[in-house]
Structure formats: structure tokens, C-alpha cells
Amino acid sequence: MKVIIRKGIKSDMPSALRLIHELAVFENEPDAVELRLEDLENDGFGASPLFECYVAELENTIVGLALFYPRYSTWKGPTIHLEDLIVQEDKRQFKIGGQLYRKVIEHAYKLGVKRIEWNVLDWNTPAIDFYKNSGANVMNEWCNVQMDQKAMKTFLDN
């Protein structure tokens, strides 16, 4: 079977949202996705796109997604943040994740960014091993910090 890796387009977003929901289930957060199809379409393909993506197609069906966006490091300059690399669970044996990963790296390298950064759950050892084997530095000493909208409001109200 031939896997096609290509730039995502607006009409791919229903499939992208399906994959995002599948990832949420995999990460034990099945009810955490608040994103709507309209958000993906507007945020990725509106007047000022906030992200780019590559999709993986197998037999005319989208089975994988790599979604990323530009960031800026005060130490390095331009970087890319790989938000999610998702492959439909029953298609993981086809090494589609590696192909999407390679495509993002090729894109970043051509852009001349100084690094690509992303997060991986500490219990996802297959992904951690894959990233380490690819030459990526898994930085265990850094903690992710997030503040949701409710916490922002609470902070600002105090």
C-alpha cells in the first residue's frame, strides 16, 4: 500500500478532527477536545493561518496528521512547534508516523529554523524511544506549564 504524505488542505479538516479525537482517547483525555471543525478551518486556512499541517493518505483515506506552527526562541530565533503527530491506531504498522515526522523535519530544515520542539507524555515509551533513536533530545528536566482560560480569569480577577 502506498502512503501519500502531502500538505493539508481545508477539506482535510474533518479527518484531522477525527484523528485529534482519537489522540485524545489514546492520551486518556476523551472529553478534553473543545476544538470544532470551524476552528480548524478558520485557524488553519483563514486570512492569517495559525498552523500548517501534513496529512498521510492511505487508499484515499486520511490516516495521519502532523500539525505544527511557528514559534520564536529568545535564545535561538525562529523555531517550529510540532503540536501533534497522530496516526490512526490500526494503521501504525505502516510506519506512517515516521514519514510524517520526516516531512516536518524536511520542511523545518528548508525554512532554516533553529529547532523543532514538541511534547511527549512520559508514559509513551514507544514514542520516546522513536524520538531518541531519531537524534532528538528528550529533555526530562523541563516541566510543561499551562494555564487554561478559567485559571487566566481567576488570576486576572485577583
Domains and CATH numbers, the chain: 3-157 (3.40.630.30)
Check residue 127 and give its pLDDT. Answer: 94
What type of residue is 42?
A: N
User: Which CB contacts under 8 angstroms, 24+ apart, belong to 81-86?
Assistant: 81/116, 81/117, 81/118, 82/116, 82/117, 82/118, 83/51, 83/118, 84/20, 84/23, 85/118, 86/19, 86/20, 86/22, 86/23
Whether 64 and 87 have beta carbons less than 8 Å apart is answered as: yes
CA distance 39 to 46: 10
* Stated pTM of the model: 0.94
Phi (first) and psi of residue 7, to 5 degrees: -65, 135
Average pLDDT over residues 53-62: 97
Q: What is the pLDDT of residues 106-148, one digit of tens each?
A: 999 999 999 999 999 999 999 999 999 999 999 999 989 999 9
CA distance 67 to 82: 6
The yes-or-no answer on residue 131 being catalytic is: yes
CA 156 to chain centre: 30
CA distance 121 to 5: 25
Catalytic residue among 54, 69, 109, 131: 131
Check residue 111 and give its pLDDT. Answer: 97
